Amino acid sequence: MLSGRRIALIGMLISGGLAAVKILVGHAAHSTAVVADGLESTADVLASGTILLALTLAAKPPDSDHPYGHGRIETLAGLLLGFILFTAGIAISVHAIIIMGETLPAPGVYAIWPLILSVGIKRFLMRYKYSAGRRLRSAALLADAANDSVDAVSGTAALIALSLTLTNPGRFPHADQYGAFVVGLIVVFTSLRVVRETGMQLIDTMPDPWLMKMVREAAASVDGVAGVEKCFARKTGLKYHVDLHLEVDPEMSVRVSHDIAQRVRERIREKLDWVADVLVHVEPAPLAEPVGRKAASKTT
């Protein structure tokens, strides 16, 4: 968790520096696309700050009011990040439309360098945050990585638009403004994807089938387990809580079946580090139907 907070803090500082450079250079060079990309980076600062706060709060241990821990705060932060991106994207696109028909000074050539720098840095941050988000199973960090990928794409779009205006201003006099509009659209579409992914976690969507197969296999590997009837899981922040219906010998004592359930819980948590806890419900395994009864049922 500490590494997640550190990554969010580093991302916030880098995004803040890039935002300041792009807005200042964009205004000085009269480039709408560069200013728009700088405003998008400003939203990144707010997003990374939200992630940092969420990861700090999500690290709090379980208490009487939150027996499953505070991990859902981290998921809520991912959802909030999506709404922040959506608002920023709409604002950028609307501003680009407003100034679309205006005659603006030709942008300066030096405006291209902040975009090149931003694309390179954001691609690096995207890979780093995505790797860390997968390792920590953090929805918020993965959302932040998606945000950085948007920055790289939007920066590339702004770079292309600015280049068209610089190389052929007579043919593409408003390409810079169109670039700003495209940047806003990219941010909006990405925000919708982030909202969908985090929203699916909030409604307790089951993890991938192969993950549930691993839970069943870990439970079945314990001596005394006759079968696994039901197996559910829900994400509560960085990890999953599993509900398991375990089948044991119906003639087994309560104490012995309880010991088996405890070993199953420990085995799953030992083998699968992405599982926070397991709630085991013990049920009697169905008895095999006698052969004579099967034959009698077929003749009737």
What pLDDT does residue 265 have? 92
List C-alpha distances in Å: 220 to 161, 254, 255, 277, 297: 59, 19, 19, 17, 32
**Residue 30 burial class via C-beta count within 10 angstroms: exposed 0-12, middle 13-18, buried 19 and up:** middle
Please report which confidence band the pLDDT of residue 290 belongs to, taking 50, 70 and 90 as the band edges: very low
pLDDT digits (tens, 9 = 90+) for 214-263: 899 999 888 888 888 888 988 876 678 899 998 888 888 889 989 999 99
What pLDDT does residue 123 have? 86
Percent pLDDT > 70 in the chain is 88
Give me the half-sphere count of Cα atoms (radius 13 Å) on the Cβ side of residue 228. 23
Whether residue 1 has pLDDT greater than 60: no
According to CATH, what is the number of the domain 2-202? 1.20.1510.10
Residue with tokens 């550190």: 6
For the chain, residues classed under CATH 3.30.70.1350 are 209-291
* Nearest-angstrom CA–CA distance, 195 and 223: 43
- What is the rounded average pLDDT of the residues 167-180? 76
Whether residue 131 has pLDDT greater than 70: yes
User: Hey, which residues does 235 pair with through a beta bridge?
Assistant: 240
Q: How many CB atoms lie within 10 A of CB 89?
A: 24
End-to-end CA distance of the chain: 65
* Nearest-angstrom CA–CA distance, 81 and 143: 7
Give me the half-sphere count of Cα atoms (radius 13 Å) on the Cβ side of residue 23. 13
Whether residue 116 has pLDDT greater than 80: yes
CATH 3.30.70.1350 fits 209-291, yes or no: yes
- Taking Cα atoms as reference points, which of 133, 181, 140 lies closest to residue 160? 181
Q: Sheet harboring 240-248: ordered strands across?
A: 227-235, 240-248, 275-284
For the chain, residues classed under CATH 1.20.1510.10 are 2-202
pLDDT digits (tens, 9 = 90+) for 202-223: 777 788 888 888 899 999 888 8
What pLDDT does residue 284 have? 87
List C-alpha distances in Å: 185 to 86, 97, 111, 298: 9, 12, 22, 67
Please report which confidence band the pLDDT of residue 293 belongs to, taking 50, 70 and 90 as the band edges: very low
DSSP secondary structure letter of residue 61: P
Average pLDDT, the chain: 79
183 vs 104, residue with greater confidence: 183
pLDDT digits (tens, 9 = 90+) for 92-111: 788 777 777 666 667 778 88
**Residue 173 burial class via C-beta count within 10 angstroms: exposed 0-12, middle 13-18, buried 19 and up:** middle
Q: How many CB atoms lie within 10 A of CB 299?
A: 5
